[in-house]
Structure 1
Amino acid sequence: MQPLPPGEPRQFGRYRLIASLGEGGMGRVLLGVSREGRLVAVKQVHPAFAHDPGFRSRFKREVETSRMVSGAYTAAVMDADPVAPLPWLASVFVAGPSLKEAVDAAGPLPLSAVHYLATGLASALAEIHRVGLIHRDLKPSNVLLAADGPRVIDFGIARAAEGDTDITHTGSIIGSPGFMSPEQANGLPLTPASDVFSFGALVTMAATGRAPFAGASTPQTLYNVVHSAPDLTNLHPDLRRLVEPCLAKDPKARPNTAQILDFLGSVQLTATPWPPAVHTMIERQQAEVRTALALPVPKEPRKRPKWLIPTVAAATAVVLAAVATTVVLTKREDNPTATAASNTSVPPPDPLSAAALRRVDPCTLLGPNSLPKSGKLLTTTDPDPQYDRCGFYFDRSAEISGSSFVSLQLSVLLPGKKGQPTKVGALDAIQSQESNSCSLAVSNPAIPDYGIEVSATRTAQTSCGIAQEAMNVLLAKLRDNPAPYPNVAKTLREADLCAPALKKPLQDATSETLRSEGHGLHECNWQGRNNYLLGKMHVTVPDENATKVGDSYLTVKQEGDSCVLAWTFPQHEPGWWDRLNVFAGTTTTSSGAKNCDSARRVLDVVVNAIKPRG
């Protein structure tokens, strides 16, 4: 665990970040604290994956399934956002070293500890397989040793990375050579038996300190996995009887998790299941967490964390975070070509259009008595304008440990969303229910592929009723053209960054033929030889690394062949600034410096087309 360096963002969505836990092939892991005080491990996906729409789709699907996994020996997925500029997920934080760290520090585990480990791993795999997932990357670093038992992490997430990205190429396989199955090494379709093979390799490594197929090089290791017998030297006979069938080359010859658990029998639980050195590592990490929690919280923007400006490596299809700021694109005398939709102060005729939804504060759409069937709403959570989202607690939440909650979001991506097709009035909808929560997403006919979502958490019997009542109230309120944000005309909230009037000046500035593709309410991708992603947001302070330009601030981040500019406008209402992000990513061989020049020209065009009124 490492402290966050000065200047590092301290907020990630609804989580306050307090330390860095490490970084792997899939991304970076940070220690965070939820608003409810729950410790979480936040995994921010590597920027090089973010530009691939296929990865995002797979990531969303796998995360949704992963959230169905429970059990004593898994680290439950609590939250995720596959459409964020850098997709991320948050899971329950587990204090303890990985199996790799434990074996490296303390040597092979004793027989009793291996038996405990094997039982926990088999139980975790049984739960993962129950919901239809295959772990695909079960390895020593994805097994944590907590004081009360092992935990399997990152289940199902490796599936999202098996595609064509800057890191993985078409047909490539994500996994660890010494612990993947022969069928995975050969790129064949996988079944749960693949995880059983990895389980056998893990148990062997834990008991002997060495993977059973380890070779002098990665190619040699993969060859051993596919063709050679495992090295089970020094393995206890009881463990050998467990491991040998798990490491069969033929998946059909391997036992399933139920058979493994039957073989292992009951566990003799003790207060210290691991070697003393491992418990010392656990206690050390717990102490580090207590120290990190005791540090003063740096003053950071509460509602617009700076991580929403993606790092430059966030490649060409990142959707720049956009959000609770209002933009008016209008004609300016000093740039007659940069015109846009005028008269936006008049509410548009379609209350579900993007122009109408940009103006609406979601936190004003429900009041204390809006849901008479479900109960009185007592508390509003901090708004999350990054996603046009707001949450509300019921007055009985204190009685049921804060589990009575309803949230609404004005723009959600619908393709690939799992659930039961249904109707809300004449509108198509998708309803998804879990153990004690329910979400209802209504398709918005004015914004293809996007919708409005309400989710509720209380009990399995009541959560869907709450969501349905809240959705009906929400749609009725929107159709009444609710009051806009205060001073909406003085902010950048209303701007359409895909406005047709921007096309010609942007093409003139870039010398490219461009086409636009909107992403929700506040982002647009202008695509040509290069990609120019525009997004807008609302911040409380400029970026601390920004350069002052007149009464505004400019941040430039260049890395490789990509460039990100962030232009922070002066305050138009007390305590707030507007920010416009421009991401330039190449699809050719342009240099990063050249893309920064292009991004600056794009920024100039858009800034000249924005004229907050008043």
Structure 2
Amino acid sequence: MTVQPLTHDEPRRIGRYRVLGVLGKGGMGRVLLGAGPDGRLVAIKQVHAHLLNQRGYRARFQREVSASTRVSGAFTAPVVDFDVDDETPWLASVFVVGIPLNEAIENFGPLPVPAVRALAAGLAVALADIHRAGLVHRDLKPANVLLTADGPRVIDFGIAYMTENPGGLTETGSTLGSPAFMSPEQTLGEPVTAASDMFALGSVLATAASGVNPFQAPSLAYTLFQIAHGAAELNSVPPELRTIIESCLYKDPHHRATPDRLLAQLGRQPEGPAPWPEPIQQAIERQSLGMAGIARDPDATVVASRSSWTAAAAAPASGSRRKLAWLSLVALLAVVALVAGVFTWKHSETSAGTLPGADTSLATLRAADVCAWLRQALDGSVPAESGWDADPRNWSVDTGYKWGCVAKSGTQWLYLDVGSAITPTQRVNGKAGGFDLLGTEGSGPSGCSRGVKLGDREQLWGISVNLSNAPNCDLAVHILDRLLATRTAPPERADTASLAGVDPCQVVPRAALDSAIGPLSQTPPQAAAHGCHWEGSATVEVNTQAVDMSKMRLEAGMDLANGKSAFPQISSLSSTCELVYAYRTVADLQETVLVRLDGEKNQRERLCGTAVSILNALIGQLPKVN
């Protein structure tokens, strides 16, 4: 990441600091490069002005400042100044010269074993300092870890909260954090503790050692499911590191390693500079030299625009050291960005389904054999530049947990989701099949998503394609184009007994719903091919999925009618009950019906009783298993 020039309307001074450039921007604010009166560089985090109009946001930032100032230690970046009463509140941290771990992995590959061990030790010490201050970080991820000359640094306490005030920054039940590095309890909306940070640490170490997140899946929903219920994929992690990493990745928080236990496992680390690979050390040194030039220049004001850089490059060698300093600065990559990592999706203000989509029904998509449809649509049309095998019949394909299709070719894979509420909800440039594209930017291991909304008005269902390890998003758009061209008559699934063909909005008798939470409106507020949602005295969701129940966190079974059983998902929330009913087993997966009720606190037993009554009513409506 380069240091960006200031725009004409951005401040040139914040508090006692001269503002030199922009390090990064995020949903909550931006981070600026500043210089103090003594020339020392700082990273200044400033809240977006429009957010201050939201109720309680200034108080939230004050809590962040309080959290940040409570932490000190060798492996964190200390706060040196702040003003929470300023018109636009800000805090300044010591500017740490280093390479974000995510950029180091992307540019230089996985870390060798000695470097991962040093990383683990430094991060364990940092978390011990954070937890000792009564805090939980909640967003430990590679982008929030800097590799510096003398070890790692943990940054960004934007969504940390105080353990004695778990309702601090967000209420219990929220899922703030970066999805791929969440803990199981975060994905389930349960309270987080210091053990949540340790799970994130395990994911960070596995990613550093292998270059791939251990729970990486083709879609956001599937990734969250894997974190909550699946096993970590550690085959690419060197064997000598697996025990250390596995000790952090238990689903039960009580079984995870603590920072002290992890340090004991690691043993004494070699003294001296951090054992980063030579290319990373060289990148850190280049960055350090460039920043030293800036810090020595008392006249530095702002980063020049790109046109100014060109002019400076052509200037005579006798030019001022200010020009030379800025040339060093703008050449730097991997500058730390202390941008809050809160993950949010924003619905597009203009619905992508405004173009005609009425010719596509949920019933059609529900009946589709999604993998067969993918292969048929791409027969003879796989782009050569995509890197995928030209013949889709050679791809490895399997059914996804929401009846989508997981496909793999070489090192790339994709997840095709049909009829679900589409995960990407932000408008991006371009169209597919005449529909506006929704999606996320990015490529590489984190992948990219493209989708189109086919539901009318507030219905969010459609078709989406999620790519992993792809050079760009072109293949996703091509797949959507081909699928949309045949969306009214896709190949149908041959297995008529499968739950995939069941309409979850019709399988529950209306009388049972009205009795449980009604009376209800005739039309559910949200529907999808394999899920339905009703609002009444409680919220009811019914979903059908294909899952491996052995990897789910389930309580003892509850008796249903006719000798059948349903299994509650383990949860510490008193306002939620989710029951899982196994309909049948196909290969190594169970086709299941999930009934979830959300209501008032301390009502879990009553909610589970209502869920049982709904399950009893719908079981008789399911296809008969031979």
TM superposition score category, shorter chain reference: 0.3 to 0.5
Q: TM-score, normalised by structure 1?
A: 0.46
Q: TM-score, normalised by structure 2?
A: 0.45
